[in-house]
Amino acid sequence: MWCDIDNAEYVREQLGIPGCEIILRVDREVYGKDGLLDSHDVRYFLSSLDPGKVVPSDLQKLVRDHWQVETSLHFVKDRWWEEDRHYLERDGLGAVWLTLTNAALSVLRFLQQPGESLIQTAEHFHYSPRKFLQILGLHRN
């Protein structure tokens, strides 16, 4: 992790990003089971946190928390429902689609059993839709 405070003024003034106090560069390396480097990428983050009041471990936690949201929410929505590929906004249905996918994901997370992956929960109800409807109170035996 690399942190730059000196160039934050440039970002604020020249790039028009007010409040930028810290520029953070995070290099990520992914190694295969064979120990060889599979991939490397670089991400940049801007922060308005006071550099005198934050330590590197705080910044690392913020970056990890950011990616936790990305991998646990947005990745799932894009992988399962291909949310990024839908062009419903032009028909005015984008908000409806987002509401339905968010509701479906929330219900699946609520019904997820300890030790069960989200995909296992989804597949369980995919093969037992009546059980799913019963849990929701929408179907009787």
Give the tens place of pLDDT for each residue, 53-68.
Answer: 999 899 989 888 888 7
pLDDT for position 83: 74
Phi, psi of 42 (to 5 degrees): -125, 135
30 SS3 class? strand
Closest CA to 106 of 121, 126, 128: 121
Spans of the chain below 70 pLDDT: 1-6, 86-91, 141
User: Among all chains, which residue has been given the structure tokens 């599979």?
Assistant: 38
Residue range 35-50, pLDDT digits in tens? 999 999 888 888 899 9
pLDDT for position 5: 58
pLDDT for position 117: 86
